[in-house]
Amino acid sequence: MTEGSNQGIKTVLNPVSDLEASKAVYTALLGTEPQHDSPYYVGYEVGGQHIGLVPGGAQGVTSQVAYWHVTDIDGRVAELTAAGATVKDPVHEVSPGRVVATVTDPDGNLLGLLEDR
């Protein structure tokens, strides 16, 4: 593992069937309005954590995904696959300078990786 390449879980995405209804619940729970609010993504920044809501069917997300923030996503994906993980979604850009990927562990658990370049 690359020294300092893992910065911890800072982002959790939750799939939702009704984005507007879920936005109301999460806004009440978190006590703040979302910082990102669009038809395909609603995101909150609370206490150094990013909590996101994504339409489950629209983006293929079917379970909550915790994203590990890393400094070398390509290297981490290579290390994880060498250790037995399987790539589910390869490294791709989701917004300018932000790339993500997901892999599954040997039991099928989904692990997210995120790098801000």
Q: What does the pLDDT read at residue 59?
A: 60
- CATH superfamily of this structure's domain 6-116: 2,3-Dihydroxybiphenyl 1,2-Dioxygenase, domain 1 (3.10.180.10)
Which tokens in the block code for residue 17? 């069937």
Q: Between the CA of residue 84 and those of 32, 34, 49, 58, 93, what are the distances in Å?
A: 40, 37, 29, 29, 24
Which tokens in the block code for residue 100? 């993500």
Q: Where are the domains of the chain?
A: 6-116
**pTM recorded for the entire structure:** 0.76
pLDDT, tens only, 53-80: 988 765 666 778 889 999 999 999 999 9
pLDDT, tens only, 8-65: 888 998 888 899 999 999 999 899 999 999 988 999 999 889 999 988 765 666 778 8
Contact 30, 42 (CB under 8 A): no
* DSSP symbols for 13-58: EEEES-HHHHHHHHHHHHTS--SEEETTEEEEEETTEEEEEEEHHH
